[in-house]
């Protein structure tokens, strides 16, 4: 049963100190304040990618301040800050810095066109210097926790023990749970399945610098980069053409679904999962088209492994990022 949090909202108990929820993606940063009045005062901006490598952290601090002002909350009153962020992460003296291919231009070099040469973006250290309690997790883990608590990865209100969340957006990533344990890894990077190699295709340059991984082939920014020369300016144009009966666009999307299907099968075969929920902007805006094709790509592939594993759309829909950050601190 999916929680009714989307219709009823989430509120802290009366008198509880407010919290800030931060969702960092390769395209945008969103901040909400959560208190006894609910989740509110959302502010968003394109993700900072220019200037020095503390630009993103400074942006987050400023957005938290703006959200507090809009909510009528004193910044000093914010008890906890939950940060759900794209990765990967590296640890510097135990604190998270981002080494995210869609943010840090130093990873893939000039070929990806990012306006910086950062190898990492400072994150946790500047936030801890400003706020008393900060928790940073990969956005796949945040979304997984939210889906297990309020969304599609629960059964009759009980979080599933063998499940995954997959985001298909600017980048591609996952949150993984096996035997009731959320997998994090040594640096909090477990779940970066978007960097699984599936092709030698030489036009599929990922921001990490590799060629031929899932993200380089089918992530949102990859679709624009790969298929604009064929007349499809971005993901929206590609899907629109397929919906209109364009045979070439339909064939491209069939191939794309096969790539994602291989990744999903690999997760199921490796982790013995019972359900995968899928979200992210590329998927969500085209879920009615994509979900049956992804199911078909996995169905009947080695049935002893895949039988009994469901593919479903994220129960929290487009708000999974907001609730992912909330799940880290609430």
Q: Where along the chain do its domains lie?
A: 5-140+321-327, 158-314
Q: Which pairing describes strands 172-178 and 181-182: parallel, antiparallel, or unpaired? A: antiparallel
d(Cα 145, Cα 320) in Å, to the nearest integer? 10
CB of 236 closer than 8 Å to CB of 191: no
Ramachandran angles phi, psi of 56, nearest 5° = -65, -45
Residue 250: its pLDDT value, please? 98
CB of 188 closer than 8 Å to CB of 138: yes
The runs of H, that is alpha helices, within the chain are: 5-8, 55-71, 124-130, 139-150, 214-218, 220-227, 235-243, 247-271, 281-285, 287-298, 303-306, 320-327
Q: Residue 12 burial by CB count (10 A; 0-12/13-18/19+): exposed, middle or buried? A: middle
Residue 206: its pLDDT value, please? 81
Compute the half-sphere exposure of residue 42: CA atoms within 13 Å on the CB side of its CA.
13
CATH class of residue range 158-314: alpha beta
**Structure tokens that stand for 327 in this block:** 């799940």
CB of 282 closer than 8 Å to CB of 217: no
CATH class of residue range 5-140+321-327: alpha beta
What angle is formed at CA 272 by the lines to CA 101 and CA 135, rounded to 5 degrees? 45
The tens place of each residue's pLDDT in the chain, 330 residues long, gives 345 787 678 999 999 999 999 999 988 999 999 999 999 999 999 999 999 999 999 999 999 999 999 999 999 999 999 999 999 999 999 999 999 988 999 986 766 778 999 999 999 999 999 999 999 999 999 999 999 999 999 988 899 999 999 999 989 999 999 999 999 999 999 999 999 988 877 777 787 777 889 999 999 989 999 999 999 999 999 999 999 999 999 999 999 999 999 999 999 999 999 999 999 999 999 999 999 999 999 998 999 999 999 999 999 999 998 899 999 998
158-314 matches 5-140+321-327 in CATH topology: yes
Q: Which is nearest to 81 in space by CA: 147, 27, 29?
A: 29
Question: What residues contact residue 213 under an 8 Å CB cut-off, 6+ apart?
Answer: 194, 195, 196, 197, 198, 204, 206
CB of 219 closer than 8 Å to CB of 171: yes
Residue 1: its pLDDT value, please? 37
Residues linked to residue 205 through DSSP beta bridges, in sequence order: 211
Residue 8: its pLDDT value, please? 77
Question: What residues contact residue 94 under an 8 Å CB cut-off, 6+ apart?
Answer: none
d(Cα 290, Cα 133) in Å, to the nearest integer? 40
d(Cα 297, Cα 194) in Å, to the nearest integer? 17
């Amino acid at each position: 049963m999916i929680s009714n949090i989307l219709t009823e909202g989430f509120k802290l108990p009366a008198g509880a100190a407010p919290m800030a929820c931060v969702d960092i993606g390769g395209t945008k940063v969103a901040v909400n304040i959560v208190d006894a009045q609910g989740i509110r005062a959302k502010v968003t901006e394109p993700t900072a990618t220019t200037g020095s490598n503390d630009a993103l952290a400074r942006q987050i601090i400023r957005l938290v301040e703006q959200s507090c002002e809009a909510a009528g909350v004193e910044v000093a009153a914010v008890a906890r800050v939950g940060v759900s962020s794209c990765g990967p992460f590296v640890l510097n003296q135990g604190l998270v810095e981002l080494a995210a291919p869609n943010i840090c231009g130093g990873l893939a070099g000039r070929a990806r066109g990012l306006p910086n040469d950062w190898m990492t973006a400072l994150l946790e250290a500047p936030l801890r210097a400003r706020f008393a309690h900060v928790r940073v997790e990969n956005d796949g883990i945040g979304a997984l926790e939210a889906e297990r608590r309020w969304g599609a990865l629960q059964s009759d209100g009980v979080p599933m023990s063998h499940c995954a969340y997959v985001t298909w957006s600017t980048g591609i990533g996952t949150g993984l749970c096996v035997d009731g344990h959320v997998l994090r890894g040594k640096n909090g990077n477990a779940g970066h399945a978007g960097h699984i190699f599936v092709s030698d295709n030489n036009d599929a340059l990922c921001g990490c610098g590799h060629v031929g991984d899932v993200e380089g082939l089918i992530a949102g920014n990859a679709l624009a980069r790969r298929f604009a020369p064929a007349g499809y300016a971005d993901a929206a144009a590609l899907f629109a053409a397929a919906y209109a009966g364009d045979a070439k666009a339909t064939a491209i999307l069939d191939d794309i679904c096969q790539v994602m299907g291989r990744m999903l099968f690999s997760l199921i075969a490796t982790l013995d999962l019972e359900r995968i929920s899928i979200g992210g902007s590329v998927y969500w805006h085209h879920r009615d088209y994509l979900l049956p094709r992804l199911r078909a790509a996995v169905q009947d592939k080695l049935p002893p492994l895949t039988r009994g594993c469901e593919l479903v759309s994220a129960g929290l829909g487009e708000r999974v990022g907001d609730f992912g950050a909330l799940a880290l601190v609430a």
